[in-house]
Structure formats: C-alpha cells, structure tokens
Amino acid sequence: MADINPMSNSQTAAVQSVSPYATTLKAQEIRVVLLAPGQWDDEISCHLVNSSLESPLEYEALSYVWAQEPGHRYIRLNDSMHQITTNLFLALRRLRKASEARCIWIDALCINQENDKEKNHQVALMGSIYELCTRALLWLGDYESPAGSPRQTLTIEQAETQSWEEISKEQSGMQDKGFAAMTTIHELSVNKHPLATSMFEEGVKSDERNDPHHLRSFSSLFGLPWWTRIWTFQEAILPPMAIVLYGSFAVKWEVLEMANNCFFQHVTTCCYGFFNMAGKGNFSFEFNDTMSRFRDRVGSLVLWRTRRKSNTDKIQLLHRMLWDHRSRQASEPRDLFYGLLGLTGGMVPDLMVDYSLPCEAVFKIATLLSIQQTGKLYILQRSKNSHVRKPSWIYDFDTVFSSDVWGLERASMFREAIFFTAAGTSKSVAFWNDFQQDHLELKGIFCSEVVLVGDSLSSDGYTSRGLSSILIKWESLAKGFYSNPKTDTPYGRDWMSEYLRTIVSDFVPDREAQFGARRVCAADLPIIRGVVDKAIRMEQPPSAIFDRLLYDGIISSLTNRTFFITADGYVGLGSPELGDEIWVLSGGDTPFILRPSVSDSGCHQLIGSCYVQGLMDGEAMVNVEAKQRTVSLC
C-alpha cells in the first residue's frame, strides 16, 4: 500500500482553499462526517454537518489509532482536498457503502485540530459523543490479504452480510492472517477447548520448517497498537454497541466477549493448568504468551463494559481507571488523564479540558481530583519515580510500565485497598481546582524514622542467587538489631514472626478468596519459614501448589522494594533511605514514606507507600487527636 495517493494539479490547488471548519460550534454541538457512497477505487469524499448532542443525528463513532500506518493520503472534505493519516484512509475505504452515505463521528475530521479552543471543547464532550452514538466502529487496522483473495477489496458493508460458513468456504486453502485470527476467535466463542483450537493443534504439529500460521496471526491481532492506546479504552466502553473491524472482517463485540468468557471458564475449570502444557520448540511459550495477551486485552474491556452496564450512575473512580490502564500509551502525555474523563461522569461537571496547561498542572488536577472523589489517598500509593517532575505528590504518569510489571503493582494495590486500614476510617480533603498550589497539605501522624535499610531486589536482575543473597542479608540485619537485649520493640521478643509476615506483606495465597489472597494466620508461619529457607538454599521452587504460589508471592512482595527497620523497631518493605520518616496520613490504607525537604524548609517529599508490620490496621490512630499534625508535601 503506497503512502501517498497522488493528486492532480487542480486537486493540489484545491487543498484547504476553503476551510471545512468555518462555523463555530455551540455548547452541545458537534460535527459528524457524511461519508459519500462509492466503489473501491473511487475518490473518498466526505462532508461535515453540525449536530446537537441534545437531539443528535444517528451516527456511528470511529475508534482507531492515528499513526498506526506510515505516511498520509488525501480525501475530498467539503469539496476541498484534505490530508489524513494512512490508517484513517484505509478505514474509510473499508467503511464506505456502495449506494448510501454513512454518518460517522471521526475525531481527526470532526474537530478542527488547529483550533485549541475548539479542541478543548470537543475533547470534553467525547464521553457524551461515544455514549450517544448508535455503535462504535473499533478499527484495529488493515493488513495484506493473499494475492487473488476476494477480501483484498471487500468492504465492511459486504462483509457484514457473510455467514461464518460462507467465509470459511471462501478462504479454503488460503493463508489469510485475518481469517486465521478470526477462526480462533470463532472457535473460542462457540466454547471449543483452548487445546482443541486450530491454533493449538497446528502448533503442536509444527516444526522449524512449518510456521504456526494461526498462532502468529492471532498474536499479531492482539499485538496491534489499538489495544494499548489510552483513548480506545473509553471509546470501547461507552457506546451501547460495538463492532470490531480488522481489514475486511467485522465481528460483533459480543463474539469477542463470548470468546473471552468461554476461554476463562475453561482455564479455571476443565483446562486448569493448561498453560503448563508442553509444545514443540518455542510454541508452548508463544501460545501461553499469546493467550495471556488475549485475556488481558479483551478481558479488561469486557469487565469494564459489564461494570458500566450494572452501574446506574455511570460514574467510575479515577484511581481505578488509572490502575487498570496504567500501561496504556498516548503520544500526548496529557491524554493519559483526558482520555479517561469521559468515564468520570457527573463527578466533575465543571472540569474543562485545557491543552494550554502544562503537563504538570494537568497531572496535579488528576491527583487532586482522585482525592476529592474518594477522600482516600489511593492515587499516592506505591513508590514514586525518582525522576518524576515536582511536586513529589503528583501522580506519576512519566514511568512506562510493561503490562506484566504493572499487573503485579495493580494486584498489590487492590489487595492493600481491601485488606489494610492504616488510617482507619479517616478521610483527606482536596479540591482539583487548587492545582496552582505546589504544596499539598494533609493531616497525619508521624510514626518513626528509618534507621536501617537493606539491599533491594530488582525486577530486571532477579535470580535465585540474588533472592537467596537478599533474604540472608535481610534476616541478618533484623537479627543484629533485635539481638540487643536493651532494644524495646513493638513486637516484644518474637520478632521472627513479624519478620516473616513482613516478607510476604502479610498475604498468603488463597484461590477461594478475593484477589486470590488472605491475611497470614499463625498456622501459616512455619510454611512461610520453610519456603524462605528453600529460597535461601537456592532449591528448585516448591511443587506443591500452595507453596509454589507462596514462593511467587514472596518474589512479588519483595521486587523493587527493600527491607527496613525504624528507630522504634518496626520492620517494613518500601523504598526508603536512612533518615526518611514513616507517616500514617488521613485517608491512607497504608503508611507512607516521607523525606524532609532540604530545599523547602518544613516540607516533605513523598517517596511512596510502604508496608510496616504493626501499622497496617489502624494501630497508629489510637489517641489520634493528640498525635495528629498537618504535613505539607512538596
């Protein structure tokens, strides 16, 4: 596919000769595209018309990634030639009908991208735009069909009339990647066992000379950028109906939802443990990785669409959306926040999108809005990026996480929100429109100062030898501190039990419990001791399910954290330096590590949340009125 479709001299002269954005949009007004009918090779022609959201025209809404394909193409927009991205051109060519116009909302065409005021206004309406459309067109992208395939020039209008049986007959003997990927989706949606799919059976029989075509095609589909962009999240969640488009293939969202649900049912019951099935060569790894990606990408959207349908007020909490989709990306950093606003509903009726604000101000608004929504400090949890822009309390949008790493972080934060109540039922107060202030003032209780810090277990340098070395050093550090008979600690003389609870962050696996974990009880301590000793001796990970899950839980608990001891004898896990302070802040489910500022007297930098044995269940809140102070974060 060429990057540029050439224009004649007359067409060149017509480019932008008349602006399609001459009229100013009113408060609840949008533009929609009328995509003129035509044949495959005809010039694409569109016309913009205004519509009020209070009584809108019936329209579909396109969800796509702008720069997925290189280069640009030209279309006719309001009788002038207009440059668009290649990916949008490919989508329009597939979406065009043969004999009637199609009414679509398309951000790149319906919003004047050169007018920041209009852009602010229209982006603020995008939640309503997708909510009020008849259905969303989720354009994943196009691909090259085999030579001679009728699907090379098949439009979506034609594709929607085909049955699966007709498609299968048409594709007999062809190596079409779109068909191969859709075959797996179809098989999963009709409740086929994952190990009985064409993808798995082909892969088991393959060798180095035979490429596992179905697997690579399915993997390619769920590796497309559409699944990882921030805007596509709300664009898939908000509409009443959605259809997934890949080249000439059109699949109702309900089919993907059924495929996801059937797959999940199989792998949690009859096919439990199938991820350990062996294949030939690298097939087993590729198969497991691909199915995990499918479950992560589709399952997340299924969950949020279901949650939204059952939530009568349609309001979602900002921190939950940030946690669930922290690994999504945006070319414009401010969109990591703006791209979620459509789901926050009436909680922020007066919040205006403003692309003239610097990123720091926008991220302040996001942080303050989350605290305002809940009275809790969820958005301040976990360690902060040491290179993050100031102030330190701004939510860290800067760090790029892989979905695997962030998955562990997210699971930990959800467990902490459910099981821990360090600040009891107290609340914090903040208002998003205070974003011009650099200081965030919170109520809190100073607990202790960090006096001993161990080495850290890095996620990118983890080995069994590294884990063994860390555990030996940490236990030696604790033993040296508590061996002093004059040391007065909150644990009495039984420091080892509290140390073991700390190593696992007071969680042990429980497949029947919410989030697959529960708090540690006394009967668990000998088992934890045994698993820790195996790790110290660098033995193979335990084979018993509970012990193996506990071993994995220890690694998850310790990764990117270090063991520390405070002046009062508390032990914990976090990212402190010597001299840092442990605080319980109002609205915090966990304690926080604060560092006295050297440049701003009387203020503290937020380092992150932490686990402290003996401070996770409201113990610091005794006699709170006498101990509570105001702390200023900078």
Q: Cα angle at 197 between 194 and 203, to 5 degrees?
A: 100
In a domain, 453, yes or no: no
- pLDDT tens per residue, range 36-46: 999 999 999 99
Let me know: does 284 contact 200? Beta carbons within 8 Å.
Answer: no
On whether both 17 and 127 belong to a single domain, the answer is: yes
305 shares a domain with 162: yes
Q: How large is the average pLDDT for residues 441-445?
A: 95
Distance, CA of 236 to CA of 246 (rounded, Å): 15
Flag whether 141 is in a domain: no
3-state secondary structure 326-381: CCCECCCCCHHHHCCHHHCHHHCCCCCCCCCCCHHHHHHHHHHHHHHHHCCCHHHC
Q: What angle do CA 435, 594, 389 make, to 5 degrees?
A: 45
Q: Are residues 439 and 502 in the same domain?
A: no
How many H helices and E strands in the chain?
22, 19
β-pairing verdict for 60-63 and 136-141: parallel
Please report, for residues 370, 412, 443, 533, the alpha-carbon distance to residue 323 in angstroms, rounded to integers and kept in the order given. Answer: 12, 11, 25, 34
Domain-embedded: residue 483: no
**Among 334-343, 364-373, 394-403, which stretch is predicted with the lowest mean pLDDT?**
394-403
- Domain annotation covers residue 247: no
CB atoms within 10 A of CB 437: 10
Closest CA to 391 of 633, 115, 125, 70: 633
Backbone torsion region of residue 80, taken as left when φ is above 0, otherwise alpha when ψ lies between -120 and 50, otherwise beta: beta
What is the number of domains present in the chain? 4
pLDDT over 50 at 423, yes or no: yes
Domain check: are 384 and 404 in the same one?
Answer: yes
Cis peptide before 391 (omega within 30 of 0): yes
Answer with the one of 310, 333, 356 that is the final residue of a domain. Answer: 310
Return the exposure string of 24-38: e unless at least 16 CB atoms fall within 10 Å of the residue's CB, then b.
ebeeebbbbbbbbeb
- Domain assignment present for 60: yes
3-state secondary structure of 558: helix
SS3 of 64-130: CCCCCCCCEEEEEECCEEEEEEHHHHHHHHHHCCCCCCEEEECHHHHCCCCCHHHHHHHHHCHHHHH
Half-sphere exposure in the Cβ direction for 216 (13 Å, CA): 9
Tell me what percent of the residues of the chain surpass a pLDDT of 70. Answer: 88
> Per the structure block, which two tokens stand in for 263?
């797959």
Among 103-107, 163-167, 607-611, name the one with the lowest average pLDDT: 163-167
Contact 241, 138 (CB under 8 A): no
Of 318-327, 344-353, 395-404, 482-491, give the lowest mean pLDDT range: 344-353
Least confident of 3-7, 103-107, 411-415, 603-607: 3-7
Say yes or no: 513 and 390 in one domain: no
Distance CA 437, CA 364 (A): 9
Q: Is the pLDDT of residue 574 over 50?
A: yes
Could you tell me if 272 and 155 lie in one domain? yes
Question: Measured between alpha carbons, how far is 183 from 95 in angstroms, rounded to an integer?
Answer: 22
Higher-confidence position of 372 and 14: 372
Q: Which residue has the tokens 């330096």?
A: 577
- 421 CB-near residues (< 8 Å, 6+ apart): 589, 616, 617, 618
Q: Looking at per-residue confidence, does 423 or 457 come out higher?
A: 423
Q: Is 109 in contact with 48 (CB distance < 8 Å)?
A: yes
Residue ending a domain, among 90, 109, 134, is 134
Higher pLDDT, 271 or 291: 291
**Pick from 238-247, 262-271, 345-354, 486-495: least confident:** 345-354
Which DSSP letter does residue 62 get? E
pLDDT at residue 12, rounded to an integer: 42
Same domain, 106 and 157: no
Q: Say if residues 493 and 530 touch (Cβ distance below 8 Å).
A: no
Asked if 359 and 333 touch (Cβ cutoff 8 Å), the reply is: yes
Q: Answer yes or no: is 32 within a domain.
A: yes
Same domain, 416 and 341: yes
Asked if residue 275 is part of any domain, the answer here is yes
∠ at Cα 199 (193, 204), nearest 5°? 95
Flag the least confident range among 103-107, 171-175, 218-222, 257-261: 171-175
- Supply φ then ψ for residue 41, to 5 degrees: -90, 0
Same domain, 408 and 331: yes
Reading the block at residue 577, the tokens are 């330096």
Same domain, residue pair 418 and 361: yes
Number of C-beta neighbours around residue 15 at 10 A = 12
Buried b (16+ CB within 10 A) or exposed e, 548-575: ebbbebbebbbbbbbbbbbeebbbbbbb
Whether 140 is covered by a domain: the verdict is: no
Q: Where are the beta strands (DSSP E) in 201-345?
A: 242-246, 249-252
Instruction: Note whether 178 and 298 are same-domain residues.
Output: yes
415: domain range? 318-444+577-633
Residues 264, 127 within the same domain: no
Cα 532-534-535 angle, rounded to 5 deg: 65
Check pLDDT > 60 for residue 313: no
